[in-house]
Amino acid sequence: MEKELRALVLELSSMVRSGVDPLSVEFQPLMSRLKGLIRRSLEFRHLELEMEALYDLALLVYSQSKHLRDKSSVLYVDPFLVRLAMLGSSSDRLAEAFLQSWRPSVARDVVSHEMMKRSYYYWSNLKEYAIEAEEVEPLLGKSLESLGIRYDELISDGIVAMHDELRDRGGRVLYEDLVGGGSLNERLRRAVLISFMLSYGYAVVEKEPLKKKFWIVAKDRVSDERPRGTESIVTVVS
Amino acid sequence: MFFKSHRIPGIKGWELKRSLGSGYTRVLKVLRSQMEPLGISIRAVGDDGSELSLDSPEDRLSTARFLLTLSEPVRVSDAKTSGWSIDELAGLTMCLGTIGSRGDKTPRSEVEEILRQKFPKWKVRNFISKYVKWGYLEEDGESLVPGWRTNAEVDLKSLLRYVFGA
């Protein structure tokens, strides 16, 4: 008795799992077999097997119903025709058919939610130290000469005139103010002159790091002559 | 919705409800209108793999998975760039076409037999393993059924229509 029940359960579950065409299954004989076994069964331990067989039969009925529903829909296509269509098409055209009906999902692949949160806090905290971008005029590789600055001018009257101007303005002027707000060429010319003036010792730089300010402070001119045996290093403070 | 949970992208309806409140579908509708210009759609996929609208009954939406997909078809060149070969795409079309035309469950041997008429045997095994790994197919005993990714990303009816047009 138990052996027969087990055989029926095995047969039914293999039908359900194999994906066999549900309409090809003869439902009535299977139901009759199960009915007969249930009538003959008097033992409680058979109940589990009987329920399992009944469940598989129910699944088969459900598959039959679903299959009929699919077949009756206007969009039902015969598997044989589909097979013929696919075998008769090139790989390129089959790929194109897939791409036309495919809308890939969009997801983050590596970054986790926690990492996003941590990076958000990191960048948010950096914000208060961020340096604001300023628009600058690019030099575009222009040489000093092309900007109208001649070297012989730098080492003569220009430096002295710049020193006199510094003195006239109180002897202590902000670097930006001394460079002035003229054209790029003029600002560059004055910046170079200030740099030479500092190298000659006609002035010194006082820094205020907290306020990000640079002051140019005039010193006495010891000699108008250029120091001998030394070289000036041009340092543009911007 | 951009994040993955257990390797599957998207989020369940009940999770959205917990975060956004009971009117979460209204929020999603607004989000949808914002995402559409970017070429991204919101899809709700039910437990049985069917696509649901945002006006579906709450009990169905709460267990549905909400995810984001591209709105427009992918070009062949883009698919190649993202790692697909033409043969892999064609093989997947054949698998899904076979399964789609048979309902939703097809013996693996039958799928392999059809693929073998176009590709070498070693390639067929390789393809099916990849499709299962990527979530386009699922193994159900000796049969193959559409995987979660197929339910979420592929319109099977439209695929069959294009197969006939191919």
What is this model's ipTM?
A: 0.89
Question: Which is nearest to A177 in space by CA: A191, A161, A158?
Answer: A191
Over residues B106-122, mean pLDDT = 91
Q: Which residue of A has its CA nearest to B69?
A: A105
* Order of strands, sheet of B106-107, starting from the edge strand that comes earlier in the sequence: B106-107, B143-146, B137-140
pTM metric for this prediction: 0.54
According to the model, what pLDDT value does residue B84 have? 92
A108 and B2 within 8 Å at the Cβ level: the answer is yes
Q: Which residue of B has its CA nearest to A116?
A: B3
A94 and B93 within 8 Å at the Cβ level: the answer is yes
Residue A149, both tokens: 């600055």
Residue A214, both tokens: 């640079």
- Taking each helix axis from N to C terminus, what angle separates A157-168 and A184-200, rounded to the nearest 10 degrees? 90
Question: Which is nearest to A70 in space by CA: B101, B115, B114?
Answer: B101
Residue with tokens 């948010």: A124
Q: Which residue of B has its CA nearest to A85?
A: B164
Alpha helices by DSSP H, listed for chain B, are 13-20, 24-35, 58-63, 76-81, 86-101, 108-116, 121-134, 148-153, 156-165
Coil/strand/helix, residue A62: helix
According to the model, what pLDDT value does residue B73 have? 92
- Rounded Cα distance, A31 and A35, in Å: 6
The tens digit of pLDDT for each residue in A6-55 reads: 888 888 888 887 767 777 888 888 888 888 888 887 777 788 888 888 89
- Rounded Cα distance, B26 and B162, in Å: 34
Q: Which residue of B has its CA nearest to A100?
A: B73
Check if A100 contacts B (Cβ < 8 Å): yes
Check if A24 contacts B (Cβ < 8 Å): no
The tens digit of pLDDT for each residue in A116-158 reads: 888 888 887 775 555 555 555 555 445 666 666 666 666 667 8
* Order of strands, sheet of B40-45, starting from the edge strand that comes earlier in the sequence: B11-12, B65-70, B40-45, B51-52
Using a 10 angstrom Cβ sphere, with 0-12 exposed, 13-18 middle and 19 or more buried, the burial of residue B96 is buried
CB count in 10 Å sphere of residue A236? 10
According to the model, what pLDDT value does residue A151 have? 64
DSSP-assigned letters across all residues of A102-144: B--B---SS--HHHHHHHHHHHHHHGGGPPPP------TT--T
- For residue A71, the surrounding DSSP H or E stretch is helix A47-72
Using a 10 angstrom Cβ sphere, with 0-12 exposed, 13-18 middle and 19 or more buried, the burial of residue B73 is middle
According to the model, what pLDDT value does residue B101 have? 85
Q: Which residues of A touch B162 (CB under 8 A)?
A: 96-98, 100-101
A82 and B97 within 8 Å at the Cβ level: the answer is yes
Burial state string for A4-19 with b = 16 or more CB within 10 A and e = fewer than 16: ebeebbeebbebbbbb
From residue B85, give the alpha-carbon distance in Å to each of A153, B76, B144, B145: 70, 9, 22, 23
According to the model, what pLDDT value does residue A228 have? 46
The phi, psi pair for A143, rounded to 5°, reads -85, 160
A106 and B164 within 8 Å at the Cβ level: the answer is no
Question: Across chain A, where does the E strand assignment appear?
Answer: 172-174, 203-208, 213-218
Are the C-beta atoms of A204 and A212 separated by less than 8 Å?
no
A86 and B160 within 8 Å at the Cβ level: the answer is no
Whole-number average pLDDT of chain A? 78
B2 and A107 within 8 Å at the Cβ level: the answer is yes
A73 or A34: whose pLDDT is higher? A34
Length, in residues, of chain A:
238
> Dihedral, CA atoms, B30, B36, B41, B42, nearest 10 degrees?
0
pLDDT band, very low/low/confident/very high, at A211 (cuts 50, 70, 90): confident
